[in-house]
Structure 1
Amino acid sequence: MEKTDCCALNVVLAEEKKGQLIPNGNHQGVNGTLVAPVRALPERETWTRQMDFIMSCVGFAVGLGNVWRFPYLCYKNGGGVFLIPYVLFIFLGGIPIFFLEIALGQFMKAGSINVWNIAPLFKGLGYASMVIVFFCNTYYIMVLAWGFYYLIKSFNGTLPWSSCDNEWNTDTCIEIFRHEDCQNGTIANGRSPIIEFWENKVLNISDGLDQPGALNWELMLCLLAVWVMVYFCVWKGVKSTGKIVYFTATFPYVVLIILLVRGVTLPGAYDGIMYYLKPNWSKLGEPQVWIDAGTQIFFSYAIGLGALTALGSYNRFNNDCYKDAFMLAMINSGTSFFAGFVVFSILGFMASEQGVDISKVAESGPGLAFIAYPKAVSLMPVAPVWAALFFFMLLLLGLDSQFVGVEGFVTGILDLFPGKYYMRYRREIAVAICCLLCFIIDLSMVTQGGMYVFQLFDYYSASGMTLLWQAFWECVVVAWVYGADKFMDDIARMIGYRPFPWMKWCWSFITPCVCMGIFLFHLLNYKPLTYNNVYVYPWWGEVIGWCLALSSMLCIPVSLVYKLSGAKGTFREVRHTIKDYIFSETDRTNHGAGSGIKSRLSVETANQLAGFEARGGEI
């Protein structure tokens, strides 16, 4: 692992003292630059190779949603026509914020909280992203626990979900695969063995949220095993994650290719692929299609979680993050599109075998991963092999997303306490506490009522509304508080050239409007949470859900009000002090970065900017 080779440069423009904001005019100038002695921030480790960063971003952003959500949305929203709004939102929302988060981390050399030292009044953005990613880390790993459970069961000689002669099966379980075999109402109302395996064996689901029931010990051991994997992937920082992602981020592509080759050779595969791609141009006139496209971008690009900022903070200062952002965006979206061929070739085969329309078997989310796909592979020759391959791929897709999410959370926490940076085993202890705390919360999700708890977290804590709210404020703060032109200058100092102006226009106008528009649509079209469209959550369950959502969304205004309430003086004095604090003309010296910003930078970034100024601002 390489370290940044630099000396301490300590510069300060403004400070917070006893609740009062002191503008730059109260400091002494030295050689034309406002300086004051402060303790240098510790050296920050960097990626051994830049490819470590690329692989980590691929592993984090390319996850389960690319395989189980995008293909279904594409089929549901007009097939190939869905790509029009999807690609449009990539360039209007996805890439601009994806690039913004990576560039912020690289420039400030800080995690999701300290990176907002560029606008301290809005540091609540950092706390909000920490809350969101903590909730994601808590519930997302349950999918990995289920996948690990299915993977273990796939090594049986006969897949346990392919027959009705198991202890968890009911009298209504029917091993029937062809539609024309249904001759009476009793058979038509029967239950598939895969559904009974999922609900009666894996989940052992109760009747509602108010009936948590007993722990599922098998599932709890799977959960523990996955958390142990995550811990040992993250405990040594980017030194360990940078190596592991070479396997976890690339091997799923090998499995996808193998599954595609197998899928296209099955009967009915062509019909499935055509169902996936066949354009329905009338869908473009439906608002829901555009909303689904925009929401999917924010989900699949992992925006608003702070993890991309943490990954970017380990880059070298002069890394071309602009080029990286475009490349990673194309890999992410390309994977989503490619996965659709894999999924619908298999679904086409399953529909053909059952003699039903593909719309009857198309699923998204856990329904695809743990019901539709296992049912499809059970129809294939050598079914356990294909089942094991699929669930191994599912486990890897989720694992790297999970441990990068944990890395982002831990990085933010450790950056808050730089004074104890050299404490022995500091990182290992922080990662252990994070994993243990999440595991304890997860125990509520391995009970008989655990699925209801899981859905609460999934529907509210990291929903489209929370991510869109976060992305909106990120753009507003960077473009209008810190300054879009200033940030473009900072990027130019890092990568050697200014990004195309449309990036600035997106941050300032287009992307915030897109985020707020989709946010309001979600808010106005809010529907109470249900399970399987049958069970309706009680009112207190919805209250818990909204508390999860608001716990991150309120971080931004609450933090802002708290900082303002601590400022002394009349309202007019406070207003002018804030104005000086944020928008002071001396925040920039000629072409150099403002010394107030420098006081909050790492040693490496501060020295890079000092060298830039010494050259007269030449890139």
Structure 2
Amino acid sequence: MVDYTCEEQCTEMNENGSQLKTEPQKQCIEREKWSKGIEFVLSGIGFAVGLGNIWRFPYLCYKNGGGAFLLPYFICLITGGIPIFFLEVGLGQFMSEGGITAWNICPAFRGIGYGTTVICFLLNTYYIIILAWAFHYFVNSFNGEPAWGKCNNPWNTDTCFNSALSKSANANRSNIIQMVDPVVEYWERKVLGISKGIDDVGDLQWELAGSLLVVWILVYLCVRNGIKTSGKVVYFTAIFPYFMLTVLLVRGVTLDGASEGIKFYLKPDFSKLGEAQVWIDAGTQIFFSYAIALGCMTALGSYNEYNNNFIKDCIFISVANSCTSLYSGLAVFSVLGFMAKEQGVPIADVAESGPGLVFLAYPKAITQMKWAPVWSVLFFFMIILMGLDSQFVGVEGFVTAIVDLFPSTLRNPRRKEMFILITSIISYCIGLTMVTNGGMYVFQVFDYYAASGMVLLWFCFFESIVIAHFYGVDKFYANIAEMIGYKLNSWLRYCWLWFTPALTMGILLFSTASSPPLTYNRTYTYPKWALAIGWTMALVPMMIIPVYFFSYLLTREGISLTQKWKAATRPILKNNLSR
């Protein structure tokens, strides 16, 4: 369904909600809507449920007290993650605008929208690199026995040792300790061709460059026609990974040592709850996994019908997201328990966060299973689908924000398609820096700074403050009631007013003060110039909020600061005739 609003008007409202002035739009505007409500739900699940559920949550859970970690996780979830998630979707649905223009609800803080759009663009350029890695493994899984399980390949060194040798680890530990697993050599020497540091970029890894091109073409084809296409694709990409997780879990729990792995994953250690880092990890994981402060959830909400019950949808997405994290942890640690027993090492030695879990631990486990090529194909196909889901929505969120900023120019279908093509080409070119010999170091700088917990927490703090204290929490509650047809209880109100700002700013300050310097494999230290680039990527979007606020405030009509303040914070709302 398309929402035709040929006589759509922008209306500036005063603080009492009455109309001040009306500005007719220049032309007939077409803005898409979801064909079915389930498409919004599946898109939300597809974006929020991503690789972080597989390679970050299980690691943090075992690291921070196993089952005890669930207590701070759920506290941060209900006081921080869910309130911001509901806020962003509700804002998008109420305003029927993307991540930038939705903040016309309080124009002085439109810098929130510009900042989150910058973050979204940076995220899209580096997140897809993971899909390029996965696509490489996926394609090479069809070549019979996985090449990463053997030591007789051109890229292997004299220090490579195979799994049969590793079984005698207890007898030959002194000799093996200097050796390198073939899975590690395949990852670092074949896939990455990794150099000695970020200042040694080296050459392109042509296989990865080709893989990156393929996944960008897939993303472009699914996004170019807007939600008419991507809304249909998510029927498969959002559902199939759950089938694969179930298959992997069933296989994992039948492996020798699986019970020890699951026990290690969930065994409560309540002494950890007294450590500040546990609460920091819980909070940052929530904001990572719910994909908020990127403008994308606002974009998804903007395609809802005005009277859609987004509260019900958001509850379902939230439950699916958190349950997926727990569920995937069972699958992951059942396999890690098997690996630990096979190698004769503690589970902690094979459990890690990040790419190491997907591209080292799991490929190693696959080589030790019967029908290894089949498991490899299925596993990396699941990784690709989960990543593509998130990438679709990330690109759609960025495109929606820019198109809504220039509707008369970019909402034309051909121009919009060309804009998506240009965006994809530019993003691909930036991504090429991450598929060079030094690409992993570049990728880590982007991952650590561009869409880091510090940046996301900063924007979540301002989102809750602006809606609750500048636009007015009671007014926003009334808007929600108008949309869904009933009044909410007061929990979200208190969260937006007090709990969420306190939580986000508290975690932001503690995590910034305690965050370790960026390293690779705990041995390589980044040069100062690389860290400066990283901090620039983090601080530029963060500083857009205050810079835009003061520039907008000082250019408003009025002599006194009070007059300027009223003009700067006065909502600019649309009179959508279809409502």
With normalisation by structure 1, the TM-score equals: 0.90
Spell out, residue by residue over 1:517-571, the C-alpha distance to the aligned partner (whole angstroms, 9 max, x if none). Answer: 00001111132211000000001111011001012111101111221333466xx
Spell out, residue by residue over 1:184-237, the C-alpha distance to the aligned partner (whole angstroms, 9 max, x if none). Answer: 523221000000000000000001111000111111000000000000010000
| 1:60/1:424 CA distance change after superposition, 3 Å | closer
* Matched residue, 1:231: 220
* Matched residue, 1:489: 478
* Matched residue, 1:589: none
* Matched residue, 1:58: 45
* Matched residue, 2:576: 603
**Partner AA of 1:470 in structure 2:** F
| 1:85/1:272 CA distance change after superposition, 3 Å | same
Q: What is the CA-CA distance between 1:600 and the residue it aligns to?
A: 3.0
Secondary structure at the counterpart of residue 397 of structure 1? helix
Secondary structure at the counterpart of residue 303 of structure 1? coil
- In the alignment, structure 2 segments of 5+ residues that lack a partner are none
With 41-50 and 164-173 compared, the bigger mean Cα shift is at 41-50
Matched, 1:351 2:340: yes
- In 1, the alpha carbon distance for the partners of 2:407 and 2:65 equals 51
**Equivalent residue pairs, number:** 576
* Matched residue, 2:81: 94
In structure 2, which of residues 117, 120, 138 is the aligned counterpart of residue 130 of structure 1?
A: 117
Matched, 1:276 2:265: yes
In structure 1, which of residues 409, 412, 426 is the aligned counterpart of residue 415 of structure 2?
A: 426
**Partner AA of 1:61 in structure 2:** A
**Partner AA of 2:66 in structure 1:** G
With 3-12 and 152-161 compared, the bigger mean Cα shift is at 3-12
Matched, 1:580 2:566: yes
| 1:197/1:182 CA distance change after superposition, 3 Å | farther
Superposed, 1:320-399 pairs within 5 Å as 320-399=309-388
- In 2, the alpha carbon distance for the partners of 1:414 and 1:185 equals 62
| 1:497/1:424 CA distance change after superposition, 3 Å | closer
- In 2, the alpha carbon distance for the partners of 1:511 and 1:24 equals 25
Q: What is the CA-CA distance between 1:178 and the residue it aligns to?
A: 1.6
Spell out, residue by residue over 1:360-381, the C-alpha distance to the aligned partner (whole angstroms, 9 max, x if none). Answer: 1112110000001100111001
Secondary structure at the counterpart of residue 470 of structure 2? helix
- In 1, the alpha carbon distance for the partners of 2:233 and 2:396 equals 13
| 1:320/1:179 CA distance change after superposition, 3 Å | farther
Secondary structure at the counterpart of residue 554 of structure 1? helix
* Matched residue, 1:209: 198
| 1:33/1:444 CA distance change after superposition, 3 Å | closer
**Partner AA of 1:72 in structure 2:** Y
**Partner AA of 1:311 in structure 2:** L
Aligned 8 A contact 1:78 1:281 in 2: yes
Matched, 1:174 2:174: no
Secondary structure at the counterpart of residue 29 of structure 2? coil
* Matched residue, 2:11: 12
| 1:179/1:98 CA distance change after superposition, 3 Å | farther
Bigger Rg, which one: 1
Aligned 8 A contact 1:213 1:449 in 2: yes
In structure 2, which of residues 527, 531, 542 is the aligned counterpart of residue 538 of structure 1?
A: 527
Q: What is the CA-CA distance between 1:180 and the residue it aligns to?
A: 3.7
Aligned 8 A contact 2:5 2:576 in 1: yes
Q: What is the CA-CA distance between 1:150 and the residue it aligns to?
A: 0.5
Secondary structure at the counterpart of residue 4 of structure 1? strand
* Matched residue, 2:2: 3
Alignment root-mean-square deviation, CA? 1.8
Aligned 8 A contact 1:567 1:574 in 2: no
- In 1, the alpha carbon distance for the partners of 2:292 and 2:23 equals 36
- In the alignment, structure 1 segments of 5+ residues that lack a partner are 15-22, 584-595, 609-619
Aligned 8 A contact 2:8 2:25 in 1: no
Secondary structure at the counterpart of residue 48 of structure 1? coil
With normalisation by structure 2, the TM-score equals: 0.96
* Matched residue, 1:303: 292
